[in-house]
Amino acid sequence: MVRETGWVFNNQEHRNLREFVETGDHETIAYLHAFGLWGDHTAEQKLVEIGSGIGRMTASFTRHFARVVACRSEE
């Protein structure tokens, strides 16, 4: 899917944009728990995301951390 913003996401699973973003919400919480990073302190911390892609998970991180810096590498 291509939007006016110029980004593309793989839609082989036939999701709409809302459903696609929700996958990032679910994965963010799962990873934070898996790595022991989830807790009461999360809202006060800063997060650096390396390899953010189009920001599917970045959007979710911004709802849980005080500050998020996302970096995308272009190869």
In this predicted model, what pLDDT tens digit does every residue of 25-64 receive, in sequence order?
999 999 999 999 999 899 999 999 998 888 889 989 999 9
Q: Is residue 12 part of a domain?
A: no
Domain count of the chain?
1
pTM of the predicted model, to two decimals? Answer: 0.73
CB atoms within 10 A of CB 61: 23
8 Å CB contact between 1 and 18? no
| pLDDT the model gives residue 1 | 44
Residue range of the domain that includes 48 = 17-71
Res 29: pLDDT: 92
pLDDT category at 66 given cuts 50, 70, 90 is very high
DSSP state, residue 41: G
Q: Do 17 and 1 meet the contact criterion of CB atoms below 8 Å apart?
A: yes
Q: Is 53 within a domain?
A: yes
Does a structural domain hold residue 10? Answer: no
In a domain, 7, yes or no: no
What per-residue confidence (pLDDT) applies to 42?
92
Please check whether residue 1 lies inside any domain of the structure.
no
